C-alpha cells in the first residue's frame, strides 16, 4: 500500500514557520541596519519634549541628583539615555551626585560611562568634568526602600560616611565635595533623574516627594510610567530606544520652537539603533500577519 503524500499547505506553513528560521531573520534584521547610516524621520513624544525642556532650563551651578540603576545588559536603552543625560548636564554646567539602589554593578558602570563622555565632551571644547569636583558617586545602597526614604527625608544623612575618589587622590567624604555644598535637603537638588530598568522607579516614586522627578526607563516600563507623567507627578519621561532617539533628535536639530543643544552632537545610541528597531518591529508585524493569514487559510481549507 502506498503512503499518503503530504499536500503542500501554505496555511500550515505560515502558521508553523520554524522557530530557528524566525530567529535567523531577527538576527539579520537587528544587525544589518547597524552597518547603515540611515537617518529616519521622527516625531518626539510629549514626555521626551518636556524632559529635554526641563533639563536645558537648568542654569550653570544648579545641582541634580541622579539615580543610576542600569548595567550593560540594558545599554541600548538605559545606556543611551544615560549618555544623553550626562551630555546635557555637562553642556549646561550642572553638577550632579549619583547613587544606586538597584544593582551593585551600577555605580561602576556609571563611572566608566561618565569618564568616557566627559573626555569626549572635553575634546569637543566643553569643560572637562572631574570626579568629586563636578560630579560625585555615592555608591550602592542594598536596601532600596529604606535608603530612598532616607534620601527624601535626610539627604545628607543618607549619603553620610560614603567616600568617592577625586582625580588622582585618596577617597574623601562625598559630603565634602563641591557638589554637596549648599545641599541641606533634597529640594536643593533641582531634579532627581532616575535611569533604571528595574523596580526602583516604583520605589523612588512612592518615597521621594520633596523634589521634582524625571525618569528614564526602558520601553516596556514606559507604558506604566506614562501614567505618572500624564497625572503631572513626573515632569519628564524618556522610554526605550524611541525615547533616546527623541532626545537625540531634539539635541541635534531642535523641535518646533525648541532650539538644538549648543555643542557638537554626534549620533548617539538612539540614532544608531533606531533603524534596527524599525527592522525588528517590521519583522514582528510580518510574522504576526503571516501567522494570522496562515490561520485563515487553514480554516478556509478545512471548511471547503
Task: State which of positions 193-222 bind other proteins (CB under 8 A).
Answer: 197-199, 218, 220-221
Per CB under 8 A, which region of 57-65, 227-235, 251-259, 263-271 contacts other proteins? Answer: 227-235
Nearer to other proteins, 2 or 231 (CB): 231
In angstroms, the CA 126 to CA 263 distance is 8
Tell me: does residue 254 bind other proteins (CB under 8 A): no
Cell numbers at residue 169, please? 587622590
Among 158, 186, 192, 247, binds other proteins (CB under 8 A): 158
Q: Are 275 and 110 in contact (CB under 8 A)?
A: no
What string marks each residue from 263 to 302 as x (binds other proteins by CB under 8 A) or -? -----------x--xx-xxxxxx-xx-xxx--x-------
Label residue 135 exposed, middle or buried (CB < 10 Å: 0-12, 13-18, 19+): buried
Among 73, 254, 259, 267, binds other proteins (CB under 8 A): 73
Task: Name which of 210, 212, 207, 209 is nearest 191 in CA terms.
Answer: 212
Report, in Å, the least distance between residue 60 CB and other proteins.
22
Residues of span 125-144 touching other proteins by CB under 8 A: 141-143
Among 227, 254, 262, 300, binds other proteins (CB under 8 A): 227
Tell me: does residue 10 bind other proteins (CB under 8 A): no
Report, in Å, the least distance between residue 3 CB and other proteins.
28
Report, in Å, the least distance between residue 210 CB and other proteins.
8
What string marks each residue from 104 to 123 as x (binds other proteins by CB under 8 A) or -? -x--xx-xx--x--------
Nearer to other proteins, 42 or 204 (CB): 42
Report, in Å, the least distance between residue 93 CB and other proteins.
24
Report, in Å, the least distance between residue 115 CB and other proteins.
6
Tell me: does residue 161 bind other proteins (CB under 8 A): yes
Among 49, 149, 258, 297, binds other proteins (CB under 8 A): 149
Nearer to other proteins, 166 or 260 (CB): 166
Amino acid at each position: 500500500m502506498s503512503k499518503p503524500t503530504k499536500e503542500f499547505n501554505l496555511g500550515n506553513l505560515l502558521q508553523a514557520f520554524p522557530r530557528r528560521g524566525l530567529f535567523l531573520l531577527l538576527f539579520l534584521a537587528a544587525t544589518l541596519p547597524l552597518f547603515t547610516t540611515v537617518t529616519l524621520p521622527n516625531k518626539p513624544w510629549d514626555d521626551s519634549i518636556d524632559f529635554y525642556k526641563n533639563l536645558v532650563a537648568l542654569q550653570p551651578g544648579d545641582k541634580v541628583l541622579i539615580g543610576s540603576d542600569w548595567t550593560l545588559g540594558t545599554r541600548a536603552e538605559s545606556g543611551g539615555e544615560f549618555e544623553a543625560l550626562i551630555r546635557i548636564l555637562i553642556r549646561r554646567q550642572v553638577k550632579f551626585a549619583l547613587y544606586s539602589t538597584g544593582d551593585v554593578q551600577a555605580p561602576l558602570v556609571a563611572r566608566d560611562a561618565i569618564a568616557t563622555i566627559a573626555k569626549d565632551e572635553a575634546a569637543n571644547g566643553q569643560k572637562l568634568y572631574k570626579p568629586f569636583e563636578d560630579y560625585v558617586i555615592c555608591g550602592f545602597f542594598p536596601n532600596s526602600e529604606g535608603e530612598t526614604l532616607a534620601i527624601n527625608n535626610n539627604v545628607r544623612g543618607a549619603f553620610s560616611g560614603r567616600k568617592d575618589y577625586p582625580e588622582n587622590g585618596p577617597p574623601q567624604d562625598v559630603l565634602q565635595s563641591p557638589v554637596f555644598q549648599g545641599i541641606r535637603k533634597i529640594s536643593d537638588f533641582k531634579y532627581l533623574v532616575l535611569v533604571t530598568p528595574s523596580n526602583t522607579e516604583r520605589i523612588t516614586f512612592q518615597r521621594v516627594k520633596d523634589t521634582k522627578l524625571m525618569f528614564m526607563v526602558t520601553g516596556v516600563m514606559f507604558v506604566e510610567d506614562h501614567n505618572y507623567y500624564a497625572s503631572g507627578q513626573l515632569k519628564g519621561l524618556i522610554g526605550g530606544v524611541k525615547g533616546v532617539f527623541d532626545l537625540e533628535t531634539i539635541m541635534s536639530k531642535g523641535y518646533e520652537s525648541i532650539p538644538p543643544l549648543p555643542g557638537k552632537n554626534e549620533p548617539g545610541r538612539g540614532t544608531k539603533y533606531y533603524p534596527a528597531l524599525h527592522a525588528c518591529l517590521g519583522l514582528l508585524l510580518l510574522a504576526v500577519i503571516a501567522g494570522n493569514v496562515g490561520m485563515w487559510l487553514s480554516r478556509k481549507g478545512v471548511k471547503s
